[in-house]
Amino acid sequence: MELNRFKNSFSKMSHDQFKPLKIPLSNTKSIIIITSSADLDSASDFIADFFESDDLNQIRSILVQASIEEKFIELLRAKLRYVNKNALISTTIQEMEEQIEKLKQKGFPIIKNNDIDETGSKATVIKCPRSLITSNNLPLITLEVFRTTKEAISFAKGSLSVGIWCENISIAYEFINSLNEAFQIWFNSSHGKIHPKIPFYNGEVICEDPDIRNKSMSASAGSIVEIFDNVQFITKFRSSSFQTVVIPFGESFAN
Protein backbone atom coordinates (compact mmCIF):
# COMPACT_ATOMS: atom_id res chain seq x y z
CA MET A 1 0.00 0.00 0.00
CA GLU A 2 2.74 2.46 0.98
CA LEU A 3 4.74 1.58 -2.12
CA ASN A 4 1.73 2.19 -4.38
CA ARG A 5 1.04 5.51 -2.65
CA PHE A 6 4.68 6.49 -3.22
CA LYS A 7 4.54 5.58 -6.93
CA ASN A 8 1.22 7.38 -7.41
CA SER A 9 2.47 10.56 -5.77
CA PHE A 10 5.55 10.63 -7.98
CA SER A 11 3.55 9.95 -11.15
CA LYS A 12 1.58 13.15 -10.52
CA MET A 13 4.65 15.35 -10.01
CA SER A 14 5.54 17.79 -12.75
CA HIS A 15 9.08 18.41 -14.00
CA ASP A 16 9.49 21.72 -12.14
CA GLN A 17 8.77 20.00 -8.81
CA PHE A 18 12.07 18.13 -9.04
CA LYS A 19 15.02 20.15 -7.78
CA PRO A 20 18.65 19.54 -8.81
CA LEU A 21 20.88 18.41 -5.97
CA LYS A 22 24.57 19.29 -5.83
CA ILE A 23 26.28 16.37 -4.13
CA PRO A 24 29.94 16.68 -3.08
CA LEU A 25 32.16 14.06 -4.69
CA SER A 26 35.84 13.31 -4.32
CA ASN A 27 38.28 13.41 -7.23
CA THR A 28 37.59 9.72 -7.84
CA LYS A 29 33.85 10.39 -7.59
CA SER A 30 31.80 7.40 -6.47
CA ILE A 31 33.52 4.13 -5.62
CA ILE A 32 32.02 0.62 -5.61
CA ILE A 33 33.40 -2.14 -3.35
CA ILE A 34 32.63 -5.80 -4.16
CA THR A 35 33.48 -8.13 -1.26
CA SER A 36 33.82 -11.92 -1.28
CA SER A 37 30.42 -12.28 0.44
CA ALA A 38 28.59 -10.20 -2.18
CA ASP A 39 25.84 -11.42 -4.46
CA LEU A 40 27.98 -11.22 -7.60
CA ASP A 41 25.05 -11.53 -10.00
CA SER A 42 23.29 -8.55 -8.42
CA ALA A 43 26.50 -6.52 -8.18
CA SER A 44 27.41 -7.09 -11.83
CA ASP A 45 23.81 -6.35 -12.86
CA PHE A 46 24.08 -3.05 -11.03
CA ILE A 47 27.28 -2.06 -12.84
CA ALA A 48 25.65 -2.91 -16.18
CA ASP A 49 22.53 -0.90 -15.25
CA PHE A 50 24.72 2.08 -14.41
CA PHE A 51 25.84 2.35 -18.02
CA GLU A 52 22.21 2.56 -19.10
CA SER A 53 21.21 5.22 -16.57
CA ASP A 54 21.79 8.91 -15.94
CA ASP A 55 23.28 8.52 -12.48
CA LEU A 56 24.16 11.66 -10.53
CA ASN A 57 26.83 9.84 -8.57
CA GLN A 58 29.04 8.75 -11.45
CA ILE A 59 31.06 5.63 -10.75
CA ARG A 60 34.76 6.04 -11.35
CA SER A 61 36.31 3.13 -9.42
CA ILE A 62 35.43 -0.49 -8.67
CA LEU A 63 37.27 -2.46 -5.97
CA VAL A 64 36.96 -6.25 -6.11
CA GLN A 65 38.18 -8.71 -3.46
CA ALA A 66 40.95 -10.96 -4.79
CA SER A 67 39.20 -14.25 -4.01
CA ILE A 68 36.28 -13.48 -6.35
CA GLU A 69 38.15 -11.36 -8.91
CA GLU A 70 38.08 -13.80 -11.84
CA LYS A 71 34.44 -14.81 -11.35
CA PHE A 72 33.26 -11.21 -11.03
CA ILE A 73 35.19 -10.02 -14.08
CA GLU A 74 33.77 -12.92 -16.11
CA LEU A 75 30.21 -11.96 -15.07
CA LEU A 76 30.85 -8.27 -15.67
CA ARG A 77 32.34 -8.82 -19.11
CA ALA A 78 29.34 -10.92 -20.18
CA LYS A 79 26.76 -8.42 -18.93
CA LEU A 80 28.48 -5.35 -20.36
CA ARG A 81 28.83 -6.88 -23.81
CA TYR A 82 25.44 -5.61 -24.95
CA VAL A 83 25.49 -2.18 -23.30
CA ASN A 84 25.71 0.51 -25.97
CA LYS A 85 24.76 3.75 -24.24
CA ASN A 86 27.12 6.67 -24.77
CA ALA A 87 29.27 7.73 -21.84
CA LEU A 88 27.62 10.08 -19.35
CA ILE A 89 30.43 12.63 -19.57
CA SER A 90 31.31 14.01 -22.99
CA THR A 91 34.97 14.14 -23.96
CA THR A 92 37.05 14.33 -27.09
CA ILE A 93 37.37 11.08 -28.99
CA GLN A 94 41.08 11.68 -29.48
CA GLU A 95 41.77 12.07 -25.75
CA MET A 96 39.81 8.91 -24.99
CA GLU A 97 41.63 6.88 -27.65
CA GLU A 98 45.03 8.13 -26.49
CA GLN A 99 44.36 7.20 -22.86
CA ILE A 100 43.14 3.70 -23.77
CA GLU A 101 46.10 3.11 -26.08
CA LYS A 102 48.60 4.15 -23.39
CA LEU A 103 47.03 1.77 -20.88
CA LYS A 104 46.98 -1.06 -23.43
CA GLN A 105 50.68 -0.54 -24.12
CA LYS A 106 51.39 -0.88 -20.41
CA GLY A 107 49.60 -4.23 -20.40
CA PHE A 108 46.41 -3.29 -18.57
CA PRO A 109 43.42 -5.42 -19.71
CA ILE A 110 40.22 -3.88 -21.07
CA ILE A 111 37.21 -5.41 -19.34
CA LYS A 112 34.69 -3.39 -21.30
CA ASN A 113 35.33 -1.15 -24.29
CA ASN A 114 32.57 -0.19 -26.67
CA ASP A 115 33.71 1.01 -30.06
CA ILE A 116 34.26 4.76 -30.25
CA ASP A 117 32.40 6.44 -33.08
CA GLU A 118 31.49 9.92 -34.28
CA THR A 119 28.71 10.23 -31.69
CA GLY A 120 31.19 10.27 -28.81
CA SER A 121 33.14 7.92 -26.60
CA LYS A 122 31.60 5.00 -24.77
CA ALA A 123 32.15 4.13 -21.12
CA THR A 124 35.09 1.80 -20.53
CA VAL A 125 36.28 -0.40 -17.67
CA ILE A 126 40.03 -0.98 -17.38
CA LYS A 127 41.84 -3.03 -14.76
CA CYS A 128 44.42 -0.51 -13.57
CA PRO A 129 45.09 1.94 -10.70
CA ARG A 130 42.91 5.06 -10.79
CA SER A 131 46.02 7.21 -10.50
CA LEU A 132 46.97 6.32 -14.10
CA ILE A 133 43.90 8.06 -15.53
CA THR A 134 45.10 11.49 -16.63
CA SER A 135 41.69 13.17 -16.58
CA ASN A 136 38.81 12.53 -14.20
CA ASN A 137 36.38 13.72 -16.89
CA LEU A 138 37.15 10.75 -19.12
CA PRO A 139 34.38 8.12 -19.03
CA LEU A 140 36.79 5.45 -17.80
CA ILE A 141 35.97 3.22 -14.84
CA THR A 142 38.97 1.57 -13.23
CA LEU A 143 38.90 -1.81 -11.51
CA GLU A 144 41.38 -2.67 -8.76
CA VAL A 145 41.81 -5.70 -6.53
CA PHE A 146 42.04 -5.74 -2.72
CA ARG A 147 42.81 -8.60 -0.34
CA THR A 148 41.47 -7.51 3.06
CA THR A 149 38.74 -5.22 4.35
CA LYS A 150 41.34 -2.86 5.76
CA GLU A 151 42.98 -2.60 2.35
CA ALA A 152 39.62 -1.77 0.74
CA ILE A 153 39.02 0.90 3.38
CA SER A 154 42.42 2.46 2.65
CA PHE A 155 41.54 2.57 -1.07
CA ALA A 156 38.17 4.21 -0.34
CA LYS A 157 39.45 6.82 2.12
CA GLY A 158 38.49 10.29 0.95
CA SER A 159 35.56 9.16 -1.18
CA LEU A 160 32.36 10.95 -0.22
CA SER A 161 29.97 8.41 -1.72
CA VAL A 162 30.62 4.65 -1.45
CA GLY A 163 28.55 1.68 -2.63
CA ILE A 164 29.36 -1.61 -0.89
CA TRP A 165 28.24 -5.09 -1.91
CA CYS A 166 28.62 -7.26 1.17
CA GLU A 167 26.41 -9.80 2.98
CA ASN A 168 28.55 -10.15 6.10
CA ILE A 169 27.15 -7.88 8.82
CA SER A 170 30.38 -7.65 10.84
CA ILE A 171 32.35 -6.55 7.78
CA ALA A 172 29.59 -4.07 6.95
CA TYR A 173 29.96 -2.46 10.39
CA GLU A 174 33.73 -2.29 9.88
CA PHE A 175 33.18 -0.29 6.69
CA ILE A 176 30.65 2.02 8.35
CA ASN A 177 32.87 2.73 11.34
CA SER A 178 35.99 3.30 9.23
CA LEU A 179 34.72 5.36 6.29
CA ASN A 180 34.12 8.48 8.36
CA GLU A 181 34.61 10.91 5.49
CA ALA A 182 31.88 9.40 3.34
CA PHE A 183 28.58 11.30 3.43
CA GLN A 184 26.67 8.40 1.87
CA ILE A 185 27.28 4.64 2.16
CA TRP A 186 25.01 2.31 0.20
CA PHE A 187 24.77 -1.42 0.89
CA ASN A 188 23.58 -3.95 -1.70
CA SER A 189 21.41 -1.43 -3.47
CA SER A 190 21.20 1.06 -6.31
CA HIS A 191 24.16 3.21 -5.45
CA GLY A 192 23.73 6.92 -6.02
CA LYS A 193 20.02 6.91 -6.82
CA ILE A 194 18.46 10.07 -5.43
CA HIS A 195 15.57 9.35 -3.08
CA PRO A 196 13.44 12.23 -1.69
CA LYS A 197 13.74 10.84 1.84
CA ILE A 198 17.55 10.82 1.92
CA PRO A 199 19.19 13.89 3.49
CA PHE A 200 22.35 14.95 1.66
CA TYR A 201 24.97 17.26 3.10
CA ASN A 202 26.87 19.91 1.18
CA GLY A 203 27.54 22.68 3.68
CA GLU A 204 23.85 22.50 4.55
CA VAL A 205 21.19 19.82 4.82
CA ILE A 206 19.58 19.16 1.44
CA CYS A 207 16.41 17.11 1.72
CA GLU A 208 12.95 17.26 0.19
CA ASP A 209 11.28 15.86 3.32
CA PRO A 210 10.68 18.69 5.87
CA ASP A 211 10.49 16.37 8.90
CA ILE A 212 13.84 14.73 8.19
CA ARG A 213 15.32 18.11 7.24
CA ASN A 214 14.28 19.61 10.57
CA LYS A 215 15.62 16.61 12.50
CA SER A 216 18.88 16.81 10.58
CA MET A 217 19.35 20.52 11.20
CA SER A 218 18.56 20.32 14.92
CA ALA A 219 20.49 17.15 15.77
CA SER A 220 24.05 17.46 17.05
CA ALA A 221 24.90 13.85 17.89
CA GLY A 222 23.48 10.34 17.76
CA SER A 223 21.41 9.00 14.90
CA ILE A 224 17.90 8.71 13.49
CA VAL A 225 16.45 5.79 11.55
CA GLU A 226 13.92 6.34 8.77
CA ILE A 227 12.04 3.54 6.99
CA PHE A 228 10.44 4.26 3.64
CA ASP A 229 9.73 2.32 0.45
CA ASN A 230 11.23 -0.85 1.97
CA VAL A 231 14.56 0.87 2.58
CA GLN A 232 16.16 1.78 5.89
CA PHE A 233 18.03 5.09 6.09
CA ILE A 234 20.32 5.44 9.10
CA THR A 235 21.64 8.97 9.55
CA LYS A 236 24.67 9.28 11.83
CA PHE A 237 25.20 12.79 13.15
CA ARG A 238 28.45 14.43 14.12
CA SER A 239 29.19 17.91 15.38
CA SER A 240 29.46 19.50 11.93
CA SER A 241 28.12 16.96 9.45
CA PHE A 242 26.36 13.63 9.16
CA GLN A 243 26.57 10.36 7.31
CA THR A 244 23.67 8.50 5.73
CA VAL A 245 23.86 4.70 5.56
CA VAL A 246 21.34 3.12 3.18
CA ILE A 247 20.34 -0.51 3.78
CA PRO A 248 17.47 -2.12 1.80
CA PHE A 249 15.23 -4.52 3.68
CA GLY A 250 15.09 -8.20 2.80
CA GLU A 251 18.07 -10.51 2.60
CA SER A 252 20.76 -7.82 2.57
CA PHE A 253 22.92 -9.64 5.09
CA ALA A 254 23.27 -13.40 5.30
CA ASN A 255 25.06 -13.31 8.65
Measure Cα distances from 39 to 12, 18, 137, 167, 192 in Å.
35, 33, 30, 8, 19
- The pLDDT assigned to 39 comes to 93
Helix (H) or strand (E) holding 48: helix 40-51
- Looking at residue 236, its pLDDT comes to 54
pTM over 0.85: no
SS3 20: coil
CA–CA separation, 78 and 48 (whole Å): 10
- Coil, strand, or helix at residue 172? helix
Per-residue CA distances from 6 to 12, 113, 167, 220, 254 (Å): 10, 38, 28, 30, 29
- Tell me the CA distances in angstroms from 68 to 31, 37, 73, 122, one per residue in order: 18, 9, 9, 27
For the chain (255 residues), the mean pLDDT of every run of 10, in chain order, is 40 37 46 94 86 63 95 87 55 72 87 53 74 74 94 89 89 87 78 48 42 46 46 51 63 58
Task: Report the C-alpha dihedral over residues 228, 170, 62, 38, rounded to 10 degrees.
Answer: -80
Sign of CA dihedral 173, 174, 177, 183: negative
Count how many Cα atoms sit within 13 Å of the Cα of residue 226 in the half-sphere of its side chain.
Answer: 19
Question: How, if at all, do strands 222-228 and 231-237 pair?
Answer: antiparallel
Residue 78, CA distances (Å) to 178, 208, 241 in order:
33, 38, 41
Please report the pLDDT score of residue 36 as a whole number. 96
What pLDDT is recorded for position 1?
Answer: 44
Q: What is the pLDDT of residue 96?
A: 74
pLDDT for the residue 151: 96
Beta bridge partners of residue 62, listed in sequence order: 32, 143
Rounded to whole angstroms, what are the CA distances from 216 to 57, 177, 229?
22, 20, 20
pLDDT value at residue 41? 93
Tell me what pLDDT residue 146 has.
Answer: 97
| Residue-range domains of the chain with CATH | 23-193 (3.40.309.10), 195-241 (no CATH)
Task: Write down the pLDDT at residue 83.
Answer: 66
Run of H or E residues at 80: helix 69-80
Return the pLDDT at 37. 94
- Whole-number pLDDT of residue 164: 93
What's the N-to-C CA distance of the chain in angstroms? 30
- For residue 41, give every residue at least 6 positions away whose Cβ sits within 8 Å of its Cβ, in sequence order, or none: 75
- pLDDT score of 88: 42
For position 152, what pLDDT does the model report? 96
